[in-house]
Amino acid sequence: MQCEWRRSYDRLVPMLIKEHFGDPGALTRQFPYMKATFPWKGDDFIITPQVLANPDNGYHGVERLAMAHHQAGAWQLAGEYWLIAAGWRRNRMDASDERHVAALQFVLRHVEYNRALAEWKKKKRSRSAMPYPEQFGLSDGMSPHDT
C-alpha cells in the first residue's frame, strides 16, 4: 500500500504540534538531543549507543509515543502522533535516500491504520469490520526502524 503525503498535512502537523506540545520548542525540550545547542561534550555527559547510532532520535521518540498510544487503544491520538513524526521525517529526510522514503511510507501507513481504527471504534462497528495491519501494508512486529 502506497501512502502519500497530503497537502493538508502541511497545515495540520504544526496545529497538532501546538495542540499536543504547545510549540515546536516544547517538542524539542521533550527530546533535548534534537536541539542544535545540545551539549554533546562535557564531563558529566553520558552518551548512549542509541544516541550515537541515530541523531534523529527525536522523531523516533514521537514514534515510540505513537506506538504506546496505539497499543493502549488510543488510536486517534496515536494517529496524530504518527502524523507529527511523519511531518518531522519528511522535513529532515533526504528524498533520494530509499531508507528514509521507506520509513516515511511506513509512518504514513500507521497514520492511515490508526485513523481507520479510530473510525471503527467511533462507529462501534462489529469485530469483523475491524481494520487489520495487513490492509495497510503493516505487520504486527514492525517498527519504523525495521525499514
Domain annotation covers residue 1: no
pLDDT at 142: 55
In a domain, 60, yes or no: yes
* Predicted pLDDT at 36: 56
Domain count, the chain: 1
The predicted model gives 128-135 an average pLDDT of 94
DSSP 67: H
The predicted structure's pLDDT at residue 41: 53
**Distance separating alpha carbons of residues 24 and 3, to the nearest angstrom:** 25
Q: Is residue 47 part of a domain?
A: no
Number of neighbours of residue 142 by Cβ within 10 angstroms: 14
Residue 41: count of CB within 10 angstroms of its CB: 6
Q: Which residue has the higher pLDDT, 70 or 145?
A: 70
pLDDT at 100 over 90: no
pLDDT at 85 over 80: yes
Tally of helices (H runs) and strands (E runs) in the chain = 6, 0
pLDDT above 90 for 138: yes
Q: Is residue 42 part of a domain?
A: no
C-alpha span between 16 and 9 (Å, rounded): 10
User: Is 2 within the bounds of a domain?
Assistant: no
The answer to whether residue 44 sits within a structural domain is: no
Host domain of residue 62? 8-35+52-146
Per-residue pLDDT of 4-48, as tens digits, reads 899 999 999 989 988 887 876 666 666 655 555 655 555 444 445
